[in-house]
Chains A and B, each alone.
Chain A
Amino acid sequence: MPVARNSRRWARGSAGHPRARAQRLEVLIGVLGFFAVMALIQTVVYELQGESAAGSAVVLAVLVAGLVLAIRARRRTGTGP
């Protein structure tokens, strides 16, 4: 059993390392952040123009929820900023 666990760890390589995981999560936060900013701009523009902003607000909420989850996961990795 220990052999199997070691080989699995070896197969994962550096991908399972906390620093590598933190880097991947930072990239994800960046992607989600970019689309969240775009959705925020769209929602604000719709609101200011007096049009229905429900659709873009829902998209924004989903993106912000994903962003919060990604930031929490990034903090749990325990690596530096």
Chain B
Amino acid sequence: MTSQGGTAPAGRRHLDVPAVRQPGTQWRTTRMYLGLAVIVIWGLAPFYWMIVTAFRDVGFTFDTTPWPTHVTLDNFRTAFSTDRGNHFGRALVNSVIIGVVTTAVAMLVGVFAAYALSRLEFPGKYLVLGFVLGASMFPGVALVSPLFQLFSSVGWLNGYNYQALIIPDISFALPLTVYTLTAFFGEMPWELEESARIDGCTMGQAFRRIMLPLAAPGLFTTAILAFISSWNEFLLASQFSTANTQPVTVAIAFFTGSQPHQDPYTAVMAAGTIVTVPLIIVVLIFQRAIVSGLTAGSIKG
């Protein structure tokens, strides 16, 4: 009895010993947080400066005080004002139309393509994936002049022809959608689909009722990535948009100030803030879904 009470079992002996901090651990943690702080500051500094300038009075545009001074909302009024020929409000609506349609079409086509690529076994399956990857690597600037010739010959470069902006955007969003969703679907448990088939579902029903709801985080992440890529597109939009279909990226670039040779920096920063902040808020709200969607297709084995 005495011997049993006096000695602890060999396997649990370590529990009695207080945890000893390894030498250098504190310094390693400090270094890690310092590194993280540098990366965060590096990434956020331009956005911080954009927001500070957006709220600064136009007379103090080049003031280098690092915190907000001479705070005013006039720049936001100037950004939305149409007195100088700027149509920022309409450009916002155009961007939303282009982004939503591009995302919807890319997701609709991408989901089926990715499902087939990850679910079905056929010769040359990885060849198709390679083709998709090649298409995503293709430089957009190489498409500008041939597309300009094509669109001008079919009369799409005037009026309200949103398709001149949506179709090239889809060609860039689609490879991203297909590739991301293929990786995501590849990690899904196919036994669930087989169980649904045994219970009487057709392949389409099993996809719609079982697999699609399970894939929601991946679909949501991909949709956000496709929307952001379309929202930020400038190169093709600057060539193919008209005064009626101009998206925000182009509208901001062509902002005119009160003086002929003076760039309206504060109004541009205010417009940039209006364009950027909603995206940041959406990403922050759905951060958990986005991270789980992005990492779901990343582990093989």
Contact = CB atoms under 8 A, between A and B. Distances in A.
B301 interface: yes
Nearest to B125: A26
A7 interface: no
B135 interface: yes
A53 to B, nearest CB: 16
A57 interface: no
Given A23-B126, A81-B124, A30 B138 contact: no
A31 B132 CA distance: 8
Interface string B143-159: 00000000000000000
A30 B123 contact: no
B5 to A, nearest CB: 45
Interface in B99-152: 123-135, 137-138
B138 A33 contact: no
Contact of B134 (A23, A26, A33): A33
Contacts of B126: 23-24, 26-27, 30
Contacts of B135: 34
B127 A81 contact: no
Contact of B131 (A23, A24, A30): A30
A27 B133 CA distance: 8
B143 to A, nearest CB: 10
A59 interface: no
Contact of A26 (B124, B137, B301): B124
Interface residues of B, number: 17
| Most chain B beta-carbon contacts within 10 A, residue among A26, A29, A81 | A26
Interface SS, B side: helix
Contact of A35 (B123, B128, B134): B134
B129 to A, nearest CB: 6
A77 to B, nearest CB: 12
A46 B126 CA distance: 31
Given A35-B134, A38-B138, A81-B123, A30 B301 contact: no
Contacts of B125: 26
Contacts of A24: 126
B247 to A, nearest CB: 27
Nearest to A42: B142
A12 B142 CA distance: 39
Nearest to B128: A30
Contacts of B124: 26, 81
Contact of B130 (A13, A14, A31, A81): A31
A54 B219 CA distance: 45
Contacts of A31: 130-131, 133-134, 137
A47 B301 CA distance: 49
A64 interface: no
A40 interface: no
B130 A33 contact: yes
A14 B301 contact: yes
Contacts of A13: 301
Nearest to A31: B134
Given A30-B132, A35-B134, A81-B123, 9 more contacts: A14-B300, A26-B126, A27-B127, A27-B129, A28-B130, A30-B133, A33-B127, A33-B134, A38-B138
Interface of B: 123-135, 137-138, 300-301
Interface of A: 13-14, 23-24, 26-35, 38, 80-81
Closest 9 CB pairs of A and B: A30-B130, A34-B134, A26-B126, A27-B130, A81-B123, A31-B134, A30-B131, A30-B127, A31-B130
